[in-house]
């Protein structure tokens, strides 16, 4: 799978375009700027947008080609991006973040719940999660996403895998994607905004 993503990201063009994901942008714009972690960030379109808005950004992906593209994009705009190459379960940082972004981060089912719990450890109490990914109803559509149903999401799976979050909202909905070559057309997604529970006692 790593070879698949390296090959996709080695192309000259940006696979999912240069503009930030619309849902992510709409939700980040509501928050006061702070620190934000981007998991499985790909070529950096969302992380670069956050940098432009004054956020302290860390990002990672397991593709070296993704890191190279993200750094190139940021440098072209006169920005420095803190972007690491790491598998999700091996990612570590001393920073604790005000926000965590998961934008089409479809991890293999055998590690997915563990990966989500691991990422939540880097989020401050009361920190915000912004999440958008393909739902199981996306299977068979040409507008993007994994071809394996297990890697797609249901609302019940999200609730189970993100225990401890207080959801501002959580929905499955139909949208139209125009994100580069590989996210294009009508799509079924699950999206949510949630907050990590505060420390009590």
Whether residue 45 is contained in a domain is answered as yes
Residue 10's pLDDT is 87
Structure tokens of 98? Answer: 């005000």
201 located within any domain = no
* Inside any domain, residue 53: yes
Looking up residue 52, the CATH number of its domain turns out to be: 3.40.50.150
Residue 70 lies in a domain: yes
At 139 the pLDDT is 97
Instruction: Please tell me the predicted confidence (pLDDT) of residue 8.
Output: 87
Q: How many Cβ atoms are within 10 Å of 41's Cβ, its own excluded?
A: 27
**Domains contained in the chain, number:** 1
Walk along the chain (201 residues) and give the pLDDT tens digit of each residue: 667 878 888 888 899 999 999 999 999 999 999 999 999 999 999 999 999 999 999 999 999 999 999 999 999 999 999 999 999 999 999 999 999 999 999 999 999 999 999 999 999 999 999 999 999 999 999 999 999 999 999 999 999 999 989 999 999 999 999 999 999 999 999 999 999 988 765
Q: How far is CA 44 from CA 76, 105, 137, 162, in A?
A: 12, 13, 27, 24
Judge whether 14 lies within some domain.
Answer: yes
CA–CA dist 75, 87 (Å, integer): 24
pLDDT of residue 200: 62
* Residue 189 within any structural domain of the chain: yes
DSSP the chain: -HHHHHHHHTSSS-TT-SSPPHHHHHHHTTSPP-EEEEES-TTSHHHHHHHHTT-EEEEEES-HHHHHHHHHHHHHTT---EEEE--GGG---S--EEEEEEES----HHHHHHHHHHHHTTEEEEEEEEEEEEBGGGTT-TTSS-SSGGGSB-HHHHHHHTTTEEEEEEEEEEEEEEETTTEEEEEEEEEEEEEEPPP--
Domain that residue 150 falls in = 2-196
Which pLDDT belongs to residue 198? 87
* Structure tokens, 27: 């939700």
Answer whether residue 19 is part of any domain: yes
């Amino acid at each position: 799978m790593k070879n698949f993503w390296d090959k996709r990201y080695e192309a000259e063009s940006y696979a999912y375009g240069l503009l930030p994901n619309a849902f992510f942008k709409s939700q980040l714009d509501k928050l006061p700027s702070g620190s934000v972690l981007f998991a499985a960030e790909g070529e950096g379109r969302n992380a670069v947008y956050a940098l432009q808005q004054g956020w302290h950004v860390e990002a990672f992906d397991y593709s070296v080609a993704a890191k190279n593209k993200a750094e190139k994009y940021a440098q072209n705009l006169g920005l420095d991006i803190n972007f690491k190459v790491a598998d999700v379960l091996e990612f570590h940082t001393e920073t604790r973040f005000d926000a965590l972004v998961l934008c089409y981060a479809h991890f293999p089912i055998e590690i997915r719940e563990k990966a989500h719990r691991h990422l939540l450890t880097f989020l401050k109490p009361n920190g915000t999660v912004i999440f958008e990914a393909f739902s199981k109803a996306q299977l068979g559509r040409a507008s993007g996403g994994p071809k394996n149903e297990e890697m797609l999401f249901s609302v019940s799976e999200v609730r189970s895998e993100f225990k401890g979050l207080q959801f501002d909202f959580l929905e499955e909905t139909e949208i139209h994607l125009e994100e580069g070559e590989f996210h294009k057309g009508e799509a079924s997604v699950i999206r949510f905004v949630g907050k990590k529970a505060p420390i009590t006692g």
